[in-house]
Amino acid sequence: MGFQHYSMRMIKFIFSLNKPLLTAVLILQMFLSALSGQEVFYADKIYRPNIKSVQMYRTGWDLTYPIIGLNSLDQVSLSFDDLTDEVKNYSYTIEHCDADWYPSGLLIEEYMSGFAHQPIQDYSLSFNTYVNYVHYRLNLPNEDVKILLSGNYVIRVFEDFDENNLIPVRRFSVSESLSSITGSASRPVLNQYRDDGHQVSFKVYLGSLSVNDPYSEIKVAIQQNNRWNMSIRNLKPLFVRDNELDYNYQSGNIFKAGNEYRYFDIKSIRYMAESVQNIDYQPPHYHVYLYPDPPRNNSRYFYREDLNGRFFIDVQEGVKRDTESDYVHVHFSLPLEFPIMDGDLYISGALNNWEYNDINRMEYNFDNKTYELDLLLKQGYYNYEYVYIREDSRFPDATYLEGSYYEAENDYVVYVYFSTNTSRYDRLIGYQILNSIRK
């Protein structure tokens, strides 16, 4: 996409901030993005290496999706740890986005009630841990912030009331129940995808919602396993029958199915779980060594229930998991006879925010012919996979070492947005979670 992708709404939004430094930064990002062919939009991001275990979910259970109902009792929870023994002056703001996670340009008072900047007041110090940290938690909506519109949102956490001094950024969605969705995620019909793909087919029922042109006013997005970097957008309905939109494609809605995620359990540092080979205390921290992982790209598929790449925090020898779970060094190893010469290997999952950088890039040990990595992680239960990125590509490939099998279990979330030529934002009018093995 070229620079023309950025609408006047986006440019007006930037100048409306009335913050010279932030305005200059955003405009520079826009021009650099246009020149490089990359898009500027909000993504989940952690800006400091001392910020760990960032999670966002519907309040009540860590493994739910961060989607709540408009004007409901639902809340989303954001939590994270700061690996320090000093309480920081953290604040947050929320921002409304369009269906593609660009700022919608709405004024703050249009989509929320309350002050634009709010302090994070819920924090606790770690207790009886080798690694000191401060645990922060925030629920939305709350007594200070009420959300007025449906759609996509980002929450930005920053320090000392400086929005340029970002900590984490997280996305969540607020939905209206104006449409219903039925569908399935199944083995593809076309032969070239049948062995390693999932076909997501669905219908959208608009009910009493008045839509003049569903091809331009309705937008849909399909997201795999709560990962917006694994999504399909801009599908148009194949058929329109009254208020029923049919998206039963045979291509265009195909995902790589991947494999079940690998896992490890470090809820205890006294007992070795199934995937743990050794636990060793090396002052000042505990070190957990996992069994070496073989490549699975040429193996037969084997079903094993997983968390679809996510993790949850827990401690077996404690009561308050948020503050009594310790941080330990987890050692990963992947034996390969020779190093990969045209790219890099990474440990990937929600454990590292699905990012690919020096922190989670593996190094090849020529002495034992093994790729190795040490990650500092909080006690709990984790999913992960090995991802390959070619030197001439920025696209991660998990199938290189993990394989891809149509039998694999995945969640697919279908989001349906509605906007007209005269409306100023994308309403999220419904969503549905489809699973590839559970109907």
Which residues does the chain have with pLDDT short of 70?
A: 1-40
d(CA 371, CA 385): 13
- CA-based R_g, the chain, Å: 23
- Tell me the pTM: 0.89
Contact 210, 243 (CB under 8 A): no
Q: What is the token pair recorded at 438? A: 């559970």
Which is it for strands 343-348 and 380-390: parallel, antiparallel or unpaired?
antiparallel
Retrieve residue 252's tokens.
């265009």
Q: Kindly state whether residues 24 and 67 are assigned to the same domain.
A: no
| Residue in 131, 154, 111 with CA at minimum distance from that of residue 376 | 131
- Could you list the residue range(s) of the whole structural domain that residue 358 is in? 262-402
**Are residues 354 and 274 located together in one domain of the fold?**
yes
Alpha carbons 416 and 431: distance in angstroms, whole number = 6
What confidence score (pLDDT) does residue 405 get? 97
In terms of domains, do 156 and 269 share one? Answer: no
Say what the pLDDT of residue 21 is. Answer: 53
Q: 246 and 224 in one domain?
A: yes
- CATH at residue 161: 2.60.40
Among 175, 204, 228, residue at a domain's last position: 175
Which pLDDT value is given to residue 35? Answer: 41
Residue at token pair 């207790």: 127
DSSP-assigned letter for residue 368: T
Boundary of a domain, candidates 175, 198, 226: 175
Domain boundary among 136, 153, 175: 175
Mark whether 306 and 232 lie in a shared domain.
no
380 and 395, same domain (yes or no) = yes
- pLDDT at site 250: 87
Alpha-carbon distance of 175 to 155, in angstroms, equals: 16
Residue the block writes with tokens 């900590």: 167
pLDDT for position 42? 87
Which candidate, 279, 224, 273, 216, places its Cα nearest to that of 245? 216
Q: How far apart are CA 315 and CA 377, in angstroms?
A: 12
**pLDDT score for 30:** 47
Write phi, then psi, for 92 (nearest 5 degrees).
Answer: -145, 160
Contact 156, 163 (CB under 8 A): yes
Q: How many domains does the chain have?
A: 4
Q: Does residue 287 sit in the same domain as residue 364?
A: yes
Shared-domain flag, residues 298 and 235: no
pLDDT at residue 20, rounded to an integer: 52
